[in-house]
Structure 1
Amino acid sequence: MNARDAVERLYGRQVTGVRHWGGSIFLVSSGNETVVAKQGVGPGATTAEAAGLRWLGESGDVSVPRVHAHDDEWLIMQYVPPTSPTAEAAETFGRNLARLHLRGAEGFGSPPPGGPVDAWMGVAPMRNETCPDWPSFYAQHRILPYLRECADQKLFSADEVEVFEKLCGRLKEVAEPEPPARLHGDAWSGNVHWARDGVWLIDPAAHGGHREGDLAMLQLFGTSQLSHILGGYAEGAQDEGAPLAAGWQDRVPVHQLFPLLMHAAVFGGGYARQALMAARAAPR
């Protein structure tokens, strides 16, 4: 089934035009309305993304696209026209993101309600399985699976693998204890969508995790207006009575390990070197 057929069958609208929008994403016109039709990258991908969008959007803290319909292959969503970033929008987004995180989650690693345990982050599989604490979840389901894939590809030597394994063994000493936060999970710059009415979040890999994880992702690939986002976040967290713990910036490399290892496992090369540098930069 193609994008045209998906929109007509799932959304029940007659399609008047289809435009490719990159990867497996299409802009589909139906009269005066334009929707996004996104083809899933693998089993459970559309269900996971739909559940994540609904979970992140239910409080209204941060804008996310409305889910119109989905099946096992296609996700039909609201289209939000893009615009240029502004400092004002960035600061407001930061404050709103702080509130969203504090909405909480069932547990560390928990999927959104209705979301599958076996989900996706981009084109990589990602397991959302509830664990008793964040260090256990992060080691078992975010670091070690991708470390093994990288080791199988000979991206790391035995000594380098040991660097990651030793860090996993002391995550409880490194991490700042917090209750599980409601995370977007893949908040890199490409998923921070600047629109006329403010910042929207798209393409989630939503789960219950540590709120420093989303902040680390924002810093990984050069998000626009980053200082204003982080400043707004700090203000919002303070206003909610839950300021970030001292030294959170020192822990950024720890939270960037997962996306770096995932990228290394999928794309190899420089991401493996970045992941090793991040592991070695973890607080002692």
Structure 2
Amino acid sequence: MKLLPEVILQLFKKETSIDSIIPIGGGCIHQAGVFHFEDRKYFLKWNIDSHKMFETEAKGLNLLRATNSVSIPQVIGCGSVNGTDYLCLEYIESSLKSKSFWKDFGSSLAQLHSNTTSNFGLDHDNFIGSLPQNNGQHTNWTDFFIQERLTPQLKLAIDQGLIYSNLNSAFERLFTILPDLVPVEPSALLHGDLWSGNFLVGNDGQAVIFDPAVYYGHREAELAFTRLFGGFESQFYESYQDVFPLQQGYADRADIFNLYPLLVHVNLFGSSYLSSVKQILSRFT
């Protein structure tokens, strides 16, 4: 990466001739790689016109890390070099799961969710994947979920021609009964995009989570998302329940919360996810 010496200068206030970065695959939005500097490894991702995305990601990581509940990569810094924006994090070597990995992961997520505030939302908007995520603050979950989560994604899908407007009526029916379907709970600090691709096993054998879409929401939304694409073992949920029990019937209503990530996937990847949206709507409306 030809810009690496300038990145290092901005981050560490030291000049260097280092320009070698080892590419890392797997991302679908930004370029990413690892570089060595002064006997340490650092993770770097970069792109053009991505400053706002990197800035809000850094804020989210710092907010999660400040809870001291679950392992989060340390943010080294973000900035811009000649029109290319970047985010630098500590590099965490992937390792093998400890024997208590899923138990510890479940309990640490429960501890994260114990962090609460008076409103649902956040004091700034951010992103989920490459899509803007509205975090306007509301005093109750239902209003937040409808106005800041489902409605913006539904409108985007309609505008892109991915969903016909007649599906609106099914959503409108859901909106009217939503307060009766979802129990009232205090807001909880959420990672916001927790699926199996957004955690790794650190060198201590414990979970490290990254690529957040942070906000204060209903904690069942986070648990539902972990079930959407699989990859989390039963001990994870059992441990979570031991530390911070969920209200009765949470598994039956998980699909309601997953309407949001499914609509996000419709907008990002196309209409193949639409059948799941329709099935959920037909079940509850």
TM-score, structure 2 as length reference? 0.88
Q: What displacement does 1:106 show?
A: 4.5
1:129 maps to a residue whose letter is G
Q: Is the Cα contact below 8 Å between 2:69 and 2:108 reproduced in 1?
A: yes
Instruction: Confirm or deny that 1:187 pairs with 2:181.
Output: no
Deviates more, 1:81-90 or 1:182-191: 81-90
Q: What displacement does 1:79 show?
A: 0.9
1:21 to 8, 21, 24: 24
1:271 to 270, 273, 278: 273
Q: What displacement does 1:203 show?
A: 0.7
> In structure 2, what is the Cα distance between the partners aligned to 1:275 and 1:3?
44
Tell me which residue corresponds to 2:46. Answer: 39
Q: Is the Cα contact below 8 Å between 1:37 and 1:76 reproduced in 2?
A: yes
> In structure 2, what is the Cα distance between the partners aligned to 1:159 and 1:89?
45
Tell me which residue corresponds to 1:67. Answer: 75
Tell me which residue corresponds to 1:105. Answer: 117
> In structure 2, what is the Cα distance between the partners aligned to 1:71 and 1:55?
19
Q: What displacement does 1:85 show?
A: 4.0
> In structure 1, what is the Cα distance between the partners aligned to 2:4 and 2:222?
31
Q: Is the Cα contact below 8 Å between 1:151 and 1:157 reproduced in 2?
A: yes
TM-score, structure 1 as length reference? 0.88
**Number of residue equivalences:** 272
Instruction: Confirm or deny that 1:130 pairs with 2:137.
Output: yes
Q: Is the Cα contact below 8 Å between 2:51 and 2:79 reproduced in 1?
A: no
What's the RMSD between the two structures over aligned residues?
A: 2.0
Matches within 5 A, 1:149-228: 149-197=156-204, 198-223=206-231, 225-228=232-235
Structure 2 gaps of 5+ residues are none
Q: Deviations over 1:85-137 (max 9, x none)?
A: 456211111011101101113420124xxxxx231111111111111211101
2:24 maps to a residue whose letter is W
The structure-2 alpha-carbon separation of the partners of 1:180 and 1:162, relative to structure 1 and needing over 3 Å to count, comes to: same
Instruction: Confirm or deny that 1:81 pairs with 2:82.
Output: no
Q: Which runs of at least 4 in structure 1 moved beyond 3 Å after TM superposition?
A: 1-5, 11-16, 40-43, 84-87
> In structure 2, what is the Cα distance between the partners aligned to 1:163 and 1:86?
45
Identity of aligned residues (%): 29
1:206 maps to a residue whose letter is V
Look up the SS of the partner of 1:35 in the other structure. Answer: strand
Structure 1 gaps of 5+ residues are 112-116, 238-242
The structure-2 alpha-carbon separation of the partners of 1:12 and 1:221, relative to structure 1 and needing over 3 Å to count, comes to: farther
Q: Which has the greater radius of gyration?
A: 2
